[in-house]
Amino acid sequence: MNALSKSSVVAVIGAGAMGAGIAQVAAQAGHTVILFDAKEGAADKGRSGVLAGLDKLVEKGKFEQSLRNEVAERIIVAASLGDLRDARLVVEAIVEKLDVKRSVFASLEEVVADDSILATNTSSLSVTAIAAGLNHPERVAGLHFFNPAPVMKLVEIVSGLASSKQVLDTLFETARAWKKEPVRATSTPGFIVNRVARPYYAEGLRLLEERASDVASIDTILREAGGFRMGPFELMDLIGHDVNFAVTRSVFDAYFGDPRFRPSLAQQELVAANWLGRKTGRGFYDYN
């Protein structure tokens, strides 16, 4: 099975932390990328953020100016979902809510060709449930990048019950062509990485709630002595508490309330305060 050809148009829906990064990855790999976000100005902001990041790398001599200019030409901001009509692959990276994702996928089926691939970047929701009820559920699969998408190599290729082998193989080869390291997973709650990572966050949060130690000390210990690249709190601040809390809730619900995956009240409070981490300037740490 071949990867998607470079001349194929890729669309990305949702231009937040993940969508913008995925658009960058696809554009660097040579695709024209149509970037759409429902929030006014968000797709422009996502595109500018990508280019600002690349400008910094160019300044440091770590990225070619010519490739930066090509990426700028290739990422095109869409005004409406209808602008995605030529996409052969759509990657959805919107809010982690099943009903919203399902409605976006249903609208997408009205727009793109019947054999275009519809991929979701969901961290935890059932790919099977996202695809259910569509006219062509066989063309839906998970294409799960990690944050930041241009840097992190791993991509989970997630099969729902109805996903076709052809679609999964194309996504696998496409991820390789995009210089990623794909792994296959089935649509279980949190797939592989987010399932294994949940207890990392959960135990950090429990230590905090039980006043065993403070945020900075727990992060330092796990980073310096535990060998993790980031401590749980700095990692949650990077991911965004809205996203992380939604993922924990979805994994907890999907495992019928298994206490191992119980969400934390401390994180619920951060979400209530809109202290979502780096993206709002404050989370467990203050970034202002």
Q: Which residue is nearest to ligand NAD (CB)?
A: 16
In whole angstroms, how close is the CB of 158 to ligand NAD at the nearest point? 11
15/222 with CB nearer ligand NAD: 15
Catalytic pick from 187, 194, 244, 264?
A: 194
Of the residues 27, 71, 89, 96, which one makes contact with ligand NAD according to CB under 6 A: 96
The yes-or-no answer on residue 147 being catalytic is no
Catalytic pick from 121, 123, 124, 187?
A: 123
Q: Which residues pair with 143 in a beta bridge?
A: 157
54/125 with CB nearer ligand NAD: 125
Placement of tokens 């935890």 in the chain: 124
186/213 with CB nearer ligand NAD: 186
- Phi/psi for 31 (5° steps) reads -85, 150
The reply to whether omega before 150 is within 30° of 0 (cis) is: no
- Cβ pair 84, 116 in contact under 8 A: no
In whole angstroms, how close is the CB of 174 to ligand NAD at the nearest point? 17
**Crossing angle between the packed helical segments 232-239 and 241-254, to the nearest 10 degrees:** 100
In whole angstroms, how close is the CB of 243 to ligand NAD at the nearest point? 4
DSSP-based helix, strand, coil % in the chain, nearest 5: 50, 15, 35
Of the residues 11, 18, 168, 270, which one makes contact with ligand NAD according to CB under 6 A: 18
Nearest to 27 by CA among 65, 69, 56: 69
The yes-or-no answer on residue 31 being catalytic is no
Of the residues 37, 156, 219, 234, which one makes contact with ligand NAD according to CB under 6 A: 37
Two structure tokens written together for 25: 């990855």
Separation CA 23–CA 31 (nearest Å)? 9
Q: Give the binding range for ligand NAD (CB under 6 A) out of 117-125, 183-191, 210-218, 256-264.
A: 117-125
Separation CA 79–CA 35 (nearest Å)? 9
Per DSSP, 243 falls in state H
Of the residues 98, 100, 106, 113, which one makes contact with ligand NAD according to CB under 6 A: 100
Distance of CA 252 to the CA centre of its chain: 19
Judged by CB under 6 A, does residue 34 bind ligand NAD?
Answer: no
Judged by CB under 6 A, does residue 131 bind ligand NAD?
Answer: no
The yes-or-no answer on residue 194 being catalytic is yes
Two structure tokens written together for 21: 């990064």
Q: Which residues pair with 186 in a beta bridge?
A: 159
In whole angstroms, how close is the CB of 32 to ligand NAD at the nearest point? 19
The yes-or-no answer on residue 136 being catalytic is no
- Cβ pair 219, 230 in contact under 8 A: yes
Judged by CB under 6 A, does residue 8 bind ligand NAD?
Answer: no
Binding-site ranges for ligand NAD (CB under 6 A): 13-19, 37-39, 42, 93-96, 100, 104, 121-123, 145-147, 239-240, 243, 247
Q: Which residues have a catalytic role annotated? A: 123, 144, 156, 194
